[in-house]
Structures are given as C-alpha cells and as structure tokens.
C-alpha cells in the first residue's frame, strides 16, 4: 500500500484527516438513524472511537517525509585533478583565474579586472595567487561565513596535486585563517587585493612571482610564455 501512496507531510494530510472524520461521522449518523436503540452517549463514544481509530490508521499508512537539504544544481565538485600548472590559466595582475564555463570565466575576469564591488563571482570560479593555495566559489549555503568561498591548501609535486586542507576556515601558508584576511574584502565578494581593505601578506610581488614560477607542475616553456604575454 505504501508504494502507491504519495509521500506527504502531515500538514498536507490534514485535509484528508478532516474529510475522513466527516466520513466517519456521517456513517455513524446513518447507523444511528437505522438503529434507534443506540443511546446518545454511546453514539458519541462510538463516533469518537471510530474517528480516532481512522486517524491512527492514516498516520501509519501515510508515513511522513523528512525535509531534504537544499542543494544548488550549479554547484561545483572540487577535486585535486582540477588543479595543474597555474600558467595554464588566464592571469590578471598577480592572480590566475579559472572557470569551466567560458562565459562565466569572462564574467569573473571582468569583475576582477575592473574591481567591481557588491557583485558576486559566478559559482565555480577558481582563483590562485600561489600554486599551493586556490580558492573556489560555491553556493553560499555551503560556506556561509565566506559567502561560498572554499579555501584549499595543496601539496604539489611535478607528478601530482593533493588537497591537504580545505574549508571556509582553512589556514594559509602564513599560519592564519584565510577568512581572517578575506573577510575584510566583503565588499568585493571576499576577494583580496591591495586596495580591498585586506591585511597585506608577508610577501611582496617579487616573492609571489617567484612562488608562481616555482610551480613544479609547469614546464619552463609554459612559464616563459605566460610571463611574456603578461609583461
């Protein structure tokens, strides 16, 4: 029986219960009409008993269904395989950006390049300043503290990439929570640059460039080609 009955919430079943009660009451009244010997008090007791019994049956026959967690259909599943040589990605100033959808990548680059405030990056946007620390934009429901941004720490070698830490409260290479800096860039969707209000890193542009060039997954040709295009 349960296989052909739609799974409904108890609130949705209340109209059924009400109609069932009326149905039971109506049948009892018909029975009383044809059985004059039934006493009024016993008739009321019979009605109550029948309705309660019917309600009990309905609660058993119509199991309740727990609310399913809301999930975004356009969210991104992050795996280590997503991350390879950062020089394969387009670069704006010091930052590399990626999105699997070319249109959304173009939008992310526009927001970042023009430093557009009060605008969210498309879900699925990936940003990397250094090879071992990307940040990925998810739906806000997954990481509400960072407006959807997941921070990751990577262990990178010439042959592999491994995610060693992740989340909206992951710790960066300086030993600080990434969010402790990025929260100051809330106006720019938690993305930090020098004029976004975030605390400065302990390394400057030259050190950042050195970290980028040291990505073991990149060939010297990839590095030289990207450096030439961005010079």
Per residue in 176-226, pLDDT (tens digit) is 999 999 999 999 999 999 889 999 889 999 999 999 999 999 998 787 776
Q: Which two tokens stand for residue 230?
A: 């961005």
Whether 160 has a pLDDT exceeding 90, the answer reads yes
- Phi, psi angle pair for 92, to nearest 5°: -125, 120
* Whole-structure pTM value: 0.66
CB within 8 Å of 222: residues ≥ 6 apart: 85, 87, 88
- Phi, psi angle pair for 152, to nearest 5°: -125, 150
Asked if residues 122 and 107 have their Cβ atoms less than 8 Å apart, the reply is yes
CB within 8 Å of 139: residues ≥ 6 apart: 72, 74, 75, 123, 148
- Segment 152-181 shows an average pLDDT of 93
d(CA 207, CA 213): 10
Q: What is the pLDDT at residue 136?
A: 97
Whether 4 has a pLDDT exceeding 90, the answer reads no
Q: Extract the runs of DSSP E, i.e. beta strands, from 82-148.
A: 91-92, 95-98, 126-130, 133-137
Domain range summary for the chain, segments of one domain joined by +: 10-61, 80-229
Q: How confident is the model at residue 1 (pLDDT cuts 50, 70, 90)?
A: very low
Whether 49 has a pLDDT exceeding 90, the answer reads no
Asked if residues 161 and 218 have their Cβ atoms less than 8 Å apart, the reply is no
N-terminal to C-terminal alpha carbon distance within the chain: 71
CB within 8 Å of 126: residues ≥ 6 apart: 82, 89, 97, 98, 99, 134, 135, 136, 137
DSSP 8-state assignment for residue 159:
S
Lowest mean pLDDT among 44-53, 124-133, 219-228: 44-53
Q: Which two tokens stand for residue 4?
A: 């052909």
Angle between helices 40-61 and 10-34 (to 10 degrees): 150
Whether 9 has a pLDDT exceeding 60, the answer reads no
Q: What is the mean pLDDT of the chain?
A: 76
Q: pLDDT by residue (tens digit) across 58-98?
A: 333 333 332 323 445 568 899 999 999 999 999 999 999 99
């Amino acid at each position: 029986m349960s296989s052909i009955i739609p799974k409904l919430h108890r609130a949705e079943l209340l109209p059924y219960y009400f109609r069932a009660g009326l149905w039971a009451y109506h049948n009892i009244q018909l029975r009383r009409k044809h059985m004059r010997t039934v006493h009024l008090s016993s008739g009321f007791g019979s009605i109550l008993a029948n309705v309660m019994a019917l309600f009990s049956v309905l609660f058993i026959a119509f199991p309740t269904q727990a609310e399913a967690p809301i999930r975004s259909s356009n969210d991104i599943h992050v795996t280590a395989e997503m991350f390879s040589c950062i020089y394969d990605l387009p670069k704006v100033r010091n930052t590399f950006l990626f999105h699997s959808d070319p249109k959304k990548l173009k939008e992310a680059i526009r927001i970042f390049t023009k430093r557009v405030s009060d605008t969210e990056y498309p879900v699925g946007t990936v940003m990397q300043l250094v090879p071992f620390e990307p940040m990925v934009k998810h739906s806000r429901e997954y990481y509400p503290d960072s407006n959807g941004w997941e921070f990751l720490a990577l262990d990178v070698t010439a042959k592999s990439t491994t995610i060693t830490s992740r989340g909206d409260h992951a710790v960066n290479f300086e030993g600080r929570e990434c969010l402790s800096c990025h929260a100051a860039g809330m106006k720019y969707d938690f993305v930090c640059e020098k004029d976004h209000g975030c605390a400065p890193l302990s390394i400057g542009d030259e050190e950042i460039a050195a970290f980028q060039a040291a990505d073991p997954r990149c060939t010297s040709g990839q590095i030289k080609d990207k450096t030439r295009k961005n010079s």
